[in-house]
Structure 1
Amino acid sequence: MAGKDEYYNRAKQQGYRARSAYKLKQLNRELDLISSGDTVVDLGAAPGGWLQVAAEEAGEHGRVIGVDFQRIDAVEKGGAPVETIRGDMTEDETKAEVKEAVGGRVDTVLSDMAPNMTGEYNLDHARSVYLAQQALETASDLLGEGGDFAVKVFQGQDLEGFKDDVAHEFAFTRTLSPDASRDASSEVYVVGKNKLTGPVRVGDELDVEIVDEGEEGDGIAKVEGFTLFVPEAEMGDELRVEVVDVKPRFAFAERRD
């Protein structure tokens, strides 16, 4: 049995609206994108297969918001309550409506958005990257510290640059091609884990003063209240450093003086 038939039939048998539900199931199984009680925003959510999975994983104490310019029938598979917004995520009006509906920070932003296919590979790729960038902007705006992001994008010349953009915003990134993707598809999913909200990023060069000492003997500098660990530095040192690793609540830097 062909892979696409297997997942299509499985979706019908298990009550999912689309075979794509199994893509999210695999992403979540491997990278723990959705936990019980989470608030999840799903972009490009029609017909609702990802909404069903997200609602199951977030559970009755969670919340799921789906957005698409196509109508989405009410989701009643169980788990978290699901709200839907009809709109185009490339438009500022829709982005503002989503932000107002959320009313705060969310735990996970998902995007399965895809362009209308033209059959011209480079054009379809460029349009998919554009939609992925819109999703990343939305994730940067809505996610709280430590939040997660997963987005579909077609392979092509701009993929590596987009992955760099995601890596700039998250502590950990990974690219996957779920088993449920069709064999002929060029789609991959770029995942960002643990949203960074601190004031520094990898590659930043800064002039800092060492104001404390860590448990491992590293010097500690503060950047807008954010902790920066600097090996081979002592209290009172004033030095230039380069940030080499960033976590949600602290970062590591190396001396450049």
Structure 2
Amino acid sequence: MTNKTPTRRLKVKLASNKKRTTSQRAWLERQLNDPYVQQAKSDGYRSRAAYKLIEIDQKFKILKPGQRVIDLGACPGGWTQVAVERVKSQTNPKARVIGVDLTEMAAIAGATVFQGDFTEEETQTKLIELLDGKAQVILSDMAAPACGMTDVDHIRIMVLVEEAFNFAENILAPGGAFVAKVLRGGTEANLLKRLKLAFQKVTHFKPPASRKDSAEMYVIGIGFKG
């Protein structure tokens, strides 16, 4: 996997004789013309989302060889693949990458992945057992199914972010990092206050790989105080 910067190609248009709805045509054309989608295929990543984590890590330097990493909402595995590469868990015996998602995932070399509901105590207990120690990085690309109502969607994802942070507080090693997806508007004041108390630095970041019309961005906590 080369982690190349995607470049623009000539625009592809779908044949008009195919029986597709307007929305289906728009989605397919966007996929065909998305440089990140094409680069993901070339680099062997399971999703274009891999480049979001690559760009986050390029800016904030959170993933290092030998670290223990938990990836929440991991399916289809793009972030897990990047974590494996950067902590070198296939060759470094100290490194460990664990991914969990509601959807079943195919195996990833260098990582332990399993199906489960992160919000359930049983799943969190299993993550802790598999980790066998403290984590240096907690990643969360979790998102609840969107209903189209901005306020409701924001509340749903914030519930997941808060759950992820509650977990991180108990399992992160001092100096560790936390990355979680939020929606436009950022992190709610109460949670942001908690994050700022727990980390030396807290910031919001929208990686270039995140589509411009997407409301998503990421809250990043660096230097967990323990």
- Bucket of the pairwise TM-score, normalised by the shorter protein: 0.7 to 0.9
The structural deviation recorded for 1:105 is 0.5
Task: Give the structure 2 partner of residue 147 of structure 1.
Answer: 176
Aligned pairs for 1:106-145 within 5 A: 106-145=135-174
Larger Rg: 1
Structure with the largest fraction of helix: 2
| Residue 172 (structure 1) aligned to one of 201, 208, 226 | 201
Aligned pairs for 1:25-64 within 5 A: 25-59=54-88, 60-61=91-92, 62-64=95-97
Matched, 1:74 2:107: yes
Q: Is the 8 A contact 1:122 1:156 kept in 2?
A: no
Q: Is the 8 A contact 1:85 1:98 kept in 2?
A: no
Aligned pairs for 1:225-240 within 5 A: none
The structural deviation recorded for 1:124 is 0.5
The letter of the residue matching 1:161 is N
The letter of the residue matching 2:200 is A
| Residue 101 (structure 1) aligned to one of 96, 117, 130 | 130
Distance 2:193 2:39 in 1: 35
Distance 1:96 1:29 in 2: 31
Q: Is the 8 A contact 1:42 1:67 kept in 2?
A: yes
Q: Is the 8 A contact 1:153 1:189 kept in 2?
A: yes
Per the normalisation by structure 2, the TM-score is 0.81
What is the DSSP-based 3-state SS (H/G/I as helix, E as strand, rest coil) of the residue aligned with 1:156? Answer: coil
* 1:63/1:158 CA distance change after superposition, 3 Å: closer
The letter of the residue matching 1:106 is A
* 1:157/1:34 CA distance change after superposition, 3 Å: closer
The structural deviation recorded for 1:157 is 7.6
* 1:9/1:88 CA distance change after superposition, 3 Å: same
Distance 2:201 2:185 in 1: 22
Task: Give the structure 1 partner of residue 119 of structure 2.
Answer: 90
Aligned residues: 193
Runs of 5+ consecutive residues of structure 2 not aligned to the other structure: 1-7, 12-29
The structural deviation recorded for 1:160 is 3.7
Asked which structure has the greater RCO (Cα within 8 Å, sep 6+), the reply is: 2
The structural deviation recorded for 1:163 is 2.3
The structural deviation recorded for 1:84 is 1.1
Distance 2:190 2:215 in 1: 17
The structural deviation recorded for 1:45 is 0.3
* 1:142/1:8 CA distance change after superposition, 3 Å: same
Task: Give the structure 1 partner of residue 44 of structure 2.
Answer: 15
